[in-house]
Each structure stands twice: as structure tokens, then as C-alpha cells.
Amino acid sequence: MSNVLRVAIVDPNDQTRESLKTTLLGMDVVWLDAECSRYEFFSDVIDQSKPDAAIISLDGSPERAIALMERLRATSPDCHLLAISKSTDGQLILKAIRSGAKEFLTHPVEVEELYAALERLLQTKYSGADGRTRGCKMIAIAGATGGVGCTSIAVNIGCNIAKRTENAVALVDLDLALGDADVFLDSIPDYSLVDVTENVSRLDFQLLRKSLTKHSSGLYLLPRPVQLQDLDLITPESLRKVFGLLRASFSHVVIDLSKSFSQVDLTALELCNEFVLMVQLDLPCLRNMVRLLMSLQQMDNIRDKIKVVVNRVGLESGQISLKKAKETIGREVFFQIPNDYRTMVEMRNNGQPLIEQAPKALITQAVSQLTDLLVGAAEAPESEEGKTVIDKSATSTWLNFWPGKNAKVKAK
Ligand SMILES: Nc1ncnc2c1ncn2[C@@H]1O[C@H](COP(=O)(O)OP(=O)(O)O)[C@@H](O)[C@H]1O
Ligand SMILES: [Mg+2]
């Protein structure tokens, strides 16, 4: 399962609460949002943290626990209730189910049993009316060399997804030393990845959003650390936890990777669903691409997600043809983005995404279409793609060779 449930628990008994908590913390499908030892405070906890599921122990006081579940069913109808008890008394199980429990678990709970119950809830949470699964989609963007356009594209993909009000989108700047996503979004963040990493076990949904910087497009930014001295705090382990929290809180996470392909970058690539590998059609960049692909193709958790995207198509000087580039890298090109330096630089200098800065520009349409393909709102481009686009320098002719020209946008 790639999706995550946010869970809160209440159990007055320290021993059973701790044991349940330990089991939950070991499950990658769970984000433990809150724990509580008093029935009377639990409604407020649920009200504030709004988890997907609440596990309520009946053993402290079955009457109060049942009354609590009845109250929660009325006040927080979106929160799935699970009852847990040492008892297997049929009457108690019946009462729990009648007061709103979707599942009844018995102590000591088996991991498989808990996992199966949570998986059933996950399916309810993420299945839309059309039967498609809606989890958190993570899109990572890396480049075969510096300055290839990763941040420009990552920021705009993030803003494009955030444009739809049903989406909640976070952009994580993993270019730990030199990241500049905050400049593109014209924001001065209060907190960075370091703050979230250090407090990850204390953060809930609300606090996490407060720690991120919200852009007017709706995109939340988690910026790179401020101090070089703090870089070591971001480790594969700490990143897994932060991504666990992000996956539980956002519908989409866009990750702007560094160019070092460090262990931290590789961890993000393992966790993501889509991996955009950006390249430009010049010799050093293509050479790096070949070398990178040789390594990345050996990595089981990464290989199948790679999507090669060519940026700055149409840049006149020194470009290699797309045909030659495809032969060199031995892979299909997933998408091409045209060259438009002026629009891109204005976008960055004004801190405005392309959809606001230049809504009609070809480059804006291109990035929007790439976004749709990545989030699954459009069909993949057909292989009969713009074969000669690279050799055309004028962007006005570029749309004629648009790789996804025939892509149909599916109704959501
Ligand atoms: N499609 C494009 N056309 C023209 N210029 C671009 C394009 N994409 C990016 N750029 C420019 O390339 C430079 C580097 O982009 P940036 O996103 O910072 O790259 P990276 O994050 O890979 O280092 C910036 O000046 C940006 O405006
Ligand atoms: Mg960058």
C-alpha cells in the first residue's frame, strides 16, 4: 500500500496504549496523529487533528467508550471508528458496532489483523466514485546537470496541481545546499526542512501546514535548510518520516532534487511514484544522462518510474537532434518543453507561476500538459511524437510537433 491513514488512539491503560502505539508506529501505512489517555478529551483531539481513523479502547470503561463513539459518529462522521478490547464478548462487540465502530479488534492485536483492518479503511478513503485509487502522488524531478530547469519545472508543476481546489500540494526543496524554490515563489519561509525533520513526531496535520509556507497559488513550500551546518540532519531515515507525514497530509508532493544523487535524493526517488529526469540536448548533459541511466536502471525501486523530459527544445546553438539524443540514451523521450528564456526568467523574477505570468504562452501550455500526464489527468503521449521539433528553432512551429498533441484530457 502506498497511501497513508492518519490515526488517533484513546486508551486509559498506559500499557495497552503503548503496545498499540508501538505496533502502529511500525506500520508504514499509518501516521499516528494523536494519542490520548482520557475519554473525555478525545472528542476535542479528534476535532483538532481530524484523523482518518480513531482507535478506541473499550476496556477503561465500556460505557464511556461506547458513549464516546456515539458522539464521534455524530460530530466527526468522516473519522472511521475502530473499537479494541481484551474481551470477545458478543454483546460488547454488538454494542460497539451499533455505536459506529467499523472494525472490532482484540488485544493483543496481531499486526496482520490490524493491517487488514486499516487496509479496508484505506480502500474506503482512497476509492473515488469511479473506482480509481486516490492516494498521495509523489513526483520527483532531477536533472542530468545543473541549470537544466528542474526548479523552474517543479515549481510550475506544483502550482498547476494546486490550482485545483480539491488538491493539497507540497513542494519539497531537496537541493539541500543550493535550493532556490523559495525565490521562484517569492517567499521568505519561517521554517525549513530542518524544523519539520526535528519535530516530525510532534507535528500533526494542522501544525505541519503552519510550518510550511503557502504561496498564493495554494502550493505549500517546504524549503531547504538555511545553514550548511544543518545539512547532516537530513538523512534517509529522517526523510522517510517527513515524507510519511507529507503523504498523510497532502494529495500531491512535488520534490525538487539536488544534482548530487545523494542517499537522500535516492531515498526520495524510492518513495516517489513518478521520476522526471530532465535533460537538455547538449553533449555534456546527454553524456551525464547515459551514465546516470546506467546506474538508475539497476535500482529496482527506481527503474520503472523514470520519465525522460527534454527541456529547452528549440534552443538554437549546439543542440543535438532528438533522434540522435534518443539513440544515445536508448530510451523514449516522455515529453519535450520548448525554450522560452524570457518567460521563464520573468516568471522567476516576479515570483509568479507561468499560469499567472504568461497563461497563453506555449511553454505554459507545455508545462500544464506535462502536469496532466504526470498526475494522470491525460493520456500518455503517443510514440509518434515530434520527431523534428529539435531542428526547428522557432517556437511558433513547435506546437505543430507537440508530442502530446493528440492527448485527450479525461474527465475527472
Ligand atoms: N524551458 C526553458 N526555456 C528557457 N529557459 C529555461 C527553461 N527552463 C529553465 N530555464 C532557465 O534555466 C535556468 C536554470 O533553471 P533552474 O530551474 O534553476 O535549473 P535547475 O533547478 O535544474 O538548476 C533559469 O535561468 C531558467 O529560467
Ligand atoms: Mg534548482
**Considering the domain boundaries, does residue 25 fall inside one?**
yes
Tell me the CA distances in angstroms from 318 to 103, 146, 333, 349, 401, one per residue in order: 64, 17, 19, 27, 20
Q: How far is the CA of 108 from the centre of ligand 1 (A)?
A: 55
What distance in Å separates the CA atoms of residue 43 and residue 296, rounded to the nearest whole number? 48
209 and 315 co-located in one domain: yes
In a domain, 159, yes or no: yes
Residue 319 lies in a domain: yes
Please check whether residues 113 and 170 belong to one and the same domain: no
The last residue of a domain, from among 102, 126, 150:
126
Same domain, 59 and 96: yes
Task: Look at the chain and report how many structural domains it folds into.
Answer: 2
pLDDT at 132: 46
Q: End of a domain among 126, 158, 184?
A: 126
Looking at the structure, tell me whether residues 112 and 147 fall in a common domain: no
Q: In sequence order, which ranges of 227-378 are alpha helices (DSSP H)?
A: 236-249, 263-271, 283-296, 322-329, 341-350, 354-357, 362-375
Give the percent of the chain with pLDDT over 90.
Answer: 66
Q: Does residue 323 surpass a pLDDT of 50?
A: yes
**Chosen domain end from 81, 101, 126:** 126
d(CA 264, CA 336): 27
Strand, helix or coil for residue 140: strand
Query: Is the pLDDT reported for residue 233 higher than 80?
Result: yes
| Residue 19 confidence (pLDDT) above 80 | yes
Question: Ligand 1 pocket, 147 CB below 6 A?
Answer: yes
312 lines ligand 1 (CB under 6 A): yes
Q: How confident is the model at residue 2 (pLDDT cuts 50, 70, 90)?
A: very low
- 408 located within any domain: no
Whether residues 303 and 155 fall in one domain: yes
Which of 309, 344, 345, 364 to mutate to test ligand 1, by most ligand atoms within 8 A of the CB atom? 344
User: Is residue 411 one of the residues assigned to a domain?
Assistant: no
Instruction: Indicate whether 406 belongs to any domain.
Output: no
- Residue 359 has a pLDDT of 97
Q: Do 102 and 186 have their domain in common?
A: no
pLDDT of 116-158, one tens digit each?
Answer: 888 888 777 666 544 444 578 999 999 999 999 999 999 999 9
In a domain, 225, yes or no: yes
pLDDT, one tens digit per residue, over 61-118 is 999 999 999 999 999 998 999 999 999 999 999 999 999 999 999 998 887 788 888 8
Burial label for 316, CB within 10 Å (0-12, 13-18, 19+), is exposed
Atom 5 in ligand 1: residue holding the nearest Cα = 341
pLDDT at 201: 73
- Shared-domain flag, residues 168 and 287: yes
The pLDDT value given to residue 244: 84
**In terms of residue numbers, what domain contains 109?**
5-126
CATH code at 342? 3.40.50.300
Q: Are residues 178 and 83 in the same domain?
A: no
Looking at the CA of residue 153, tell me the nearest atom of ligand 1. 17
373 within a domain of the structure (yes/no): yes
